[in-house]
Amino acid sequence: MKQFLAGLLAATVLSASAATAADFAPAVLYDLGGKFDKSFNEAAFNGAEKFKADTGTEYREFEITTEAQREQALRRFARDGASPIVSVGFAQAAALETVAAEYPDTQFAIIDAVVDAPNVRSILFKEEEGSYLVGILAALKSETGKVGFVGGMDIPLISKFACGYKGGFKSVKPDGEVFENMTGTTGAAWNDPVRGGELARSQMNQGADVIFHAAGGTGIGVLQAAADEGKFGIGVDSNQNMLFPGHVLTSMVKRVDNAVYDAFDDAAKGNWTAGTVVLGLEEDGVGYAMDENNAELVTAEMKAAADKARQEIIDGTITVHDYTSDSSCPY
């Protein structure tokens, strides 16, 4: 009888494991700008593609073109049995909150927002820390003592980038000047490279010789304008150094790719957890990109200064202000 019960228990466990494996059907919902925006969405795509390459597991995906499609696509994924479903971008929070409640047995993850639900993993980043480092590099590269920042949508999240960048710059050149512009107040601000170029040229006309963007597809126009004028741009989210070699000083990388990969991998292995995850320098969630495209632009002294600050931030010697903590920037 004991052997029979043990065998029955083992069979039950195996059946549950098989059911869990069978239920694994990952999906990604990209936000406005599309998966080939060379920035935020594309980082998510790269993470999903790496998981596919490593495991042979296919995943579903959808690129929205209107805001109304967020909730529709999430619900369709969930209804069709997809799990986990990764929502890319803060703008999907309201839709996810609704759909996650309707499908409590489905695993969801969202990048850059917090949805407080027992089946949602909320993934945040310390953008200010990575931005601080590229601010140091910008200060050391600048010959005019003036640099620029072009953001996409005017929201607190993007102000985190701007404030961290300013803090890093001012730590090197306290009397220097940082010009700052946001592209707009709607989702269209992420996909307007013409306007990005105009804002960059305006800043360069005021003396800026290094410009950091956190503007999604709009930022391609910023980098293009900087390259056209013989100045330097700084990319964001994905490594954008290769877009205009010799004119992209570095990129503030935000490891959205790792976040997507880990969400898929944890669900596949039965290690899924909900709750809020915050990724900074210590967790290798943010940083700056070095490769053959910018190796000659960043001197050993510049890199040493940025790396020293990185370690001091991790150690707690330097505290980078988080704009979203009080809606202010003290630098």
Q: Over 90: is that where the pLDDT of 245 sits?
A: yes
How far apart CA 167 and CA 320 sit, in angstroms, is 7
Q: In the structure encoding, which two tokens stand for residue 307, read together? A: 């790396």
Q: Over 70: is that where the pLDDT of 100 sits?
A: yes
The secondary structure element, H or E, covering residue 184 is: strand 177-184
In the prediction, which pLDDT does 105 show? Answer: 96
Average the pLDDT over 53-69 and give the result. 95
In the prediction, which pLDDT does 16 show? Answer: 33
Helices (H), the chain: 2-23, 40-55, 69-79, 93-102, 127-141, 156-172, 193-205, 218-228, 256-268, 300-315, 323-326
**18 and 78 Cβ atoms separated by less than 8 Å:** no
In the prediction, which pLDDT does 5 show? Answer: 36
How far apart CA 45 and CA 231 sit, in angstroms, is 30
How far apart CA 217 and CA 193 sit, in angstroms, is 6
In the prediction, which pLDDT does 23 show? Answer: 83
In the prediction, which pLDDT does 11 show? Answer: 35
How far apart CA 233 and CA 223 sit, in angstroms, is 5
In the prediction, which pLDDT does 18 show? Answer: 33
Instruction: Say which range, 4-13, 45-54, 143-152, 290-299, has the weakest mean pLDDT.
Output: 4-13
Chain mean pLDDT for the chain: 92
Average the pLDDT over 184-204 and give the result. 95
Average the pLDDT over 86-90 and give the result. 95
- Helix (H) and strand (E) counts in the chain: 11, 12
Average the pLDDT over 233-240 and give the result. 94
How far apart CA 112 and CA 109 sit, in angstroms, is 10
Average the pLDDT over 154-176 and give the result. 97
Neighbouring C-beta atoms of residue 39, cutoff 10 Å? 26
In the prediction, which pLDDT does 12 show? Answer: 33
CB-neighbour burial class of residue 98 (10 A; exposed 0-12, middle 13-18, buried 19+): middle
